[in-house]
Amino acid sequence: MVEKILRNSLQSLCHDDVLLKLETGIQNCKGHAQASAQGLRAVMKTMLYGSHFMLVKEAFHIYSLFFKSHKDEEASRDILLHPETGLNVVTVIHPVTLEGRV
């Protein structure tokens, strides 16, 4: 049951290294990969310089602003946790409301 409530990112880099990797992706990539790096950077900066946590829906909203077409919320959660391109975060699903937090 806990694995359905808590999901750890597989990203092993520290926050500064993740930001550097995202900046490199923004500079060197195009299209979807560039938009994904921009969206992830925006989510990470919002968390680092804000309250350090946010609703998964809010993270999805920020992330999806960089895409022209609609993105899938569940798929973007997997992108947040990806070992190579994701953020160093933990997602928590509240067991009563099923509301997610990053």
- Read off φ and ψ for residue 33, nearest 5 degrees: -65, -40
**Token pair belonging to 98:** 């099923």
At 89, the pLDDT band (50, 70, 90 cuts) reads confident
**pTM across the whole model:** 0.82
Provide mean pLDDT across the span 17-32.
94
Can you list the alpha helix ranges (DSSP code H) found in the chain? 2-5, 15-28, 31-49, 56-64, 73-80
Share the mean pLDDT of the chain.
Answer: 84
Domain boundaries, the chain: 2-101
Residue 98 has pLDDT above 60, yes or no: no
